[in-house]
Amino acid sequence: MNLEILPVQQNIHADLDILASDKSLSHRVCMFSLFADSTCRIKHFLRAEDTQRSLTIAQSLGLHVSEENGDLLLTPPKKGLQTPSDILYCGNSGTSMRLFTGLLAGANLYAVLCGDVYLHARPMGRILKPLRTIGANIASRTIQSQDTTKEVAPLCVIPSTQSLKGFTYHSQIASAQVKSALILAALQGSEESVFSECELSRDHTENMLYALQKKPYLQNKDDKLYITPFSAFGIQNAPLKAFDVSIPNDPSSAFFFAVLASILPNTSITLRRVMINKTRIEAFRILEKMGAKIRYENISNDYEKTADITISSAELQAITIEENIAWLIDEIPALSIACSVAKGTSKIRNAAELRVKESDRISVVLQGLKNFGIQTIEYSDGFDIIGGSLQKGVVDSKGDHRIAMSFAIAACVCGGTILDSECIHTSFPNFIELLSRFTTIHKTHTHV
């Protein structure tokens, strides 16, 4: 499906409450509920393709799922995790594949995980190598990528005769997926493990564990995570407390509308119940440094802090972004749209990780900006954007939901067409509906 988007014609003063619930937390409640001591209640679970994959996989491992008054009720298996009877399909969700690979390796269960054509091109060696060093037996497919051999899905987790060993591992990649996969494996191992990373990545896995653990399975000392397996405390089944959680709105999804508010004249948008974990709102901080007017109100705290965020338009200035990239990796495509209309040349560096997301986000973003009349310069780990005036264009999302939504925001300024937009449903099912409040969108099924 393609989207033809017309420029916004009116000033926007909007209040958005029903956004996309946080994807990271929605994935994780599926996994942690498998280890809970009774039924868990989840309010505002993200009903999107990616998170549905995690929920379905958890069901294949024995989780019972029901609904009550719109809430999900997740009941863990009484006799521990069960071996799945079918292939576990992850769709486009790298989080599902990488985290469940760690979980299954720790559980010592046989399982095959596969996904769509885009997920099958993404690198899996970053979790496979450390998992194998502690005794996990995981087979993969290999492909030749330029001058290197890359391990990719499908993946096959093969049971071993022994539990996983402990590890001391320092990750050179600031990746919450790598960290979470190793934590989920180590919790089910036989020895204490220590994990550290080059810089702090998203910390939702740790935050939930701190809140749910019955014993000190996870401790943070001097920026290192010390992981003690459940078995060390004599706990074999139901090692976590049951939980009742209301999932806040996803800051990465909400950020598209923050960019929209910042680049349209005489516009302000309030985004309700948005998570403001420091590893997730760096993009809002960057936008504020560029000149956008942002205020945070009604701050509250559950498992994660939330706030209502109001963004008002202003003349944006170019910026250099080279720190805390791990906190920005999902928002850089949308930030690129803000940079494209900012005064001056914006520079993004240390972002080579963008090349191994749902698409090569560096090359796809720059091709899209070129198609929309913006000059750029490409580097191996980032790019420069020379601020200018967006012109009506066409962009191929390459199956990447964040590319599709970012250029949909750009098209609100100048008009444009987004090819292959179905991917939006992987993370933000009502994005098009919300955007339609402000402009006219035509859906087509022919190649432009």
Annotated binding site for 3-phosphoshikimate: 23-24, 28, 175, 177, 330, 357
User: How far is C-alpha 415 from the geometric centre of its chain's CA atoms?
Assistant: 28
Whether the CB-CB separation of 259 and 312 falls below 8 Å is answered with no
- Residue ranges for the known binding site are 23-24, 28, 94, 122, 175, 177, 330, 357, 361, 402
Concerning whether 116 is annotated as a catalytic residue, the answer is no
DSSP state of 8: P
Task: Report the candidate in 2, 73, 12 with the shortest Cα–Cα distance to residue 40.
Answer: 73
Whether the CB-CB separation of 203 and 164 falls below 8 Å is answered with no
Q: Which of 203, 308, 330, 396 is catalytic?
A: 330
Q: Residues with Cβ < 8 Å from 175, sequence gap 6 or more?
A: 126, 197, 201, 326, 353
Block residue for tokens 């989920």: 184
What is the rounded distance in angstroms from the CA atom of residue 403 to the CA atom of residue 31? 28
- Residue ranges for the known binding site for phosphoenolpyruvate are 23, 94, 122, 177, 361, 402
What is the rounded distance in angstroms from the CA atom of residue 263 to the CA atom of residue 66? 42
Q: Which region holds residue 411: left if phi is over 0, alpha if psi is between -120 and 50, else beta? A: alpha
Beta strand pairing call for 305-312 and 64-68: unpaired
Instruction: Reduce the DSSP state of residue 82 to 3 states and report it.
Output: coil
Catalytic residue positions, numbered: 330
